[in-house]
């Protein structure tokens, strides 16, 4: 049995090198062979040179190039080349624990699951006192392994016959987020078994610039836009007249920014209102398009999402 560890990356050479270094210390379960597939999303740095000089712990490292911008496109390009029995997705800024793969595979087998979500914890040096549950969740931390995120997700190959790709309109390089959220929603709708792998831990060593106020505001906007896309196209939510809501949210956001002092670079109330405003703006754009997923039940019969 073979497992492919798929990592999408774009111009994060140092972070990718640290992730690959951590992977070299990860133990491969008995009876399993592992490979690493790096989906290079048009990096301007020399990813090929980095991979050639990176220890892999005896595993092969392959590079798949996807020049079109977008994490989802990079992941899809990698999936088209993978022929392994299991596929594990990691981000290029996480550090898996040495027993990460053992615990992941054990959960797949013992729970007879099709998809398994592991745990994501923030690197201790990047934790701040002002962080709320929202801040931590938006940095991909999972409160439990039941909350699946693409930074630590493993699937059986059979899943791709029911959910064959990540939506290229979502994720970094596109609307910004939710490519993993939609993938998991599609897997559930297809009747696939979603399991959890407590103890299959990766630590998130995100760039410290993500703690800036500007970064939080960009994230809130991406959150709202991505949610609107999924709500309109996947959930087939009924239409609503959003212009009035948008104007109301603009007013509330401006008024509260005047009255309130910030206890963090971007407090929860501000993130919530800004995300809601971005949702309404994106909703008005999406409602002019046809639904991308008109038949939810097509997945249950093996149709294309």
Q: What are the CA-CA distances from residue 83 to residues 51, 117, 160, 266 (Å)?
A: 21, 21, 11, 44
> pLDDT tens for residues 98-122?
999 999 999 999 999 999 999 999 9
- Please tell me whether residue 33 adopts helix, strand or coil conformation: strand
Q: What is the DSSP letter of 287?
A: T
The H-assigned helical ranges of the chain are 13-24, 47-52, 71-79, 100-110, 133-138, 179-189, 213-229, 242-259, 268-286
> pLDDT tens for residues 243-269?
888 899 999 999 998 887 767 899 999
> pLDDT tens for residues 152-170?
999 999 999 999 999 999 9
Contact predicate 102/32, CB 8 Å: no
What rounded mean pLDDT belongs to the chain? 91
Residue 138, both tokens: 């938006």
Residue 247, both tokens: 């104007």
pTM of the prediction? Answer: 0.91
Distance, in Å, from the CA atom of 232 to the CA atom of 235, rounded to the nearest integer, reads 6
Q: What are the CA-CA distances from residue 115 to residues 103, 234, 303 (Å)?
A: 13, 20, 19
Q: Using pLDDT thresholds of 50, 70 and 90, give the confidence band for residue 47.
A: confident
Position with higher pLDDT, 283 vs 305:
283
Contacts of 291 (CB under 8 A, 6+ apart): 232, 233, 236
Contact predicate 119/145, CB 8 Å: yes
**What pLDDT sits at residue 259?**
81
- The DSSP bridge partners found for residue 265 are none
Contacts of 92 (CB under 8 A, 6+ apart): 7, 8, 9, 12, 15, 16, 19
Residue 22, both tokens: 């951590």
Query: Which helix or strand (DSSP H or E) is residue 120 part of?
Result: strand 115-122
Distance, in Å, from the CA atom of 203 to the CA atom of 186, rounded to the nearest integer, reads 26
Distance, in Å, from the CA atom of 157 to the CA atom of 279, rounded to the nearest integer, reads 34
- Does residue 304 carry a pLDDT above 60? no
Position with higher pLDDT, 47 vs 286:
286
**What pLDDT sits at residue 204?**
98
Number of alpha helices (DSSP H) and beta strands (DSSP E) in the chain: 9, 8
């Amino acid at each position: 049995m073979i497992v492919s560890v798929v990592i999408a990356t774009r111009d994060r050479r140092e972070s990718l090198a640290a992730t690959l270094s951590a992977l070299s210390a990860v133990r491969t379960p008995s009876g399993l062979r592992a490979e690493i597939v790096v989906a290079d999303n048009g990096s301007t740095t020399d990813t090929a040179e980095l991979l050639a000089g990176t220890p892999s712990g005896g595993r092969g490292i392959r590079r798949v190039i996807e020049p079109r911008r977008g994490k989802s496109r990079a992941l899809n390009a990698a999936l088209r080349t993978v022929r392994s029995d299991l596929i594990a997705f990691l981000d290029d800024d996480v550090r898996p624990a040495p027993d990460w793969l053992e615990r992941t595979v054990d959960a797949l087998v013992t729970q007879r699951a099709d998809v398994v979500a592991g745990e994501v914890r923030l690197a201790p040096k990047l934790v701040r006192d002002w962080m709320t549950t929202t801040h931590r969740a938006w940095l991909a931390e999972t409160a439990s392994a039941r909350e699946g995120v693409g930074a630590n997700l493993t699937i059986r190959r059979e899943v791709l016959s029911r959910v064959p790709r990540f939506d290229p309109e979502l994720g970094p390089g596109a609307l910004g987020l939710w490519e993993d959220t939609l993938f998991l929603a599609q897997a559930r709708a297809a009747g696939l078994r979603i399991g959890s792998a407590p103890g299959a831990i990766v630590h998130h060593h995100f760039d410290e610039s993500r703690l800036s106020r500007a970064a939080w505001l960009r994230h809130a906007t991406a959150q709202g836009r991505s949610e609107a896309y999924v709500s309109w196209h996947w959930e087939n939510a009924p239409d609503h007249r959003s212009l009035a809501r948008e104007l109301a949210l603009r007013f509330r956001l401006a008024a509260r920014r005047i009255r309130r002092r910030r206890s963090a670079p971007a407090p929860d109330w501000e993130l919530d209102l800004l995300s809601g405003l971005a949702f309404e703006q994106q909703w008005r754009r999406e409602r002019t398009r046809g639904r991308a997923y008109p038949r939810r039940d097509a997945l249950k019969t093996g149709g294309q999402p």
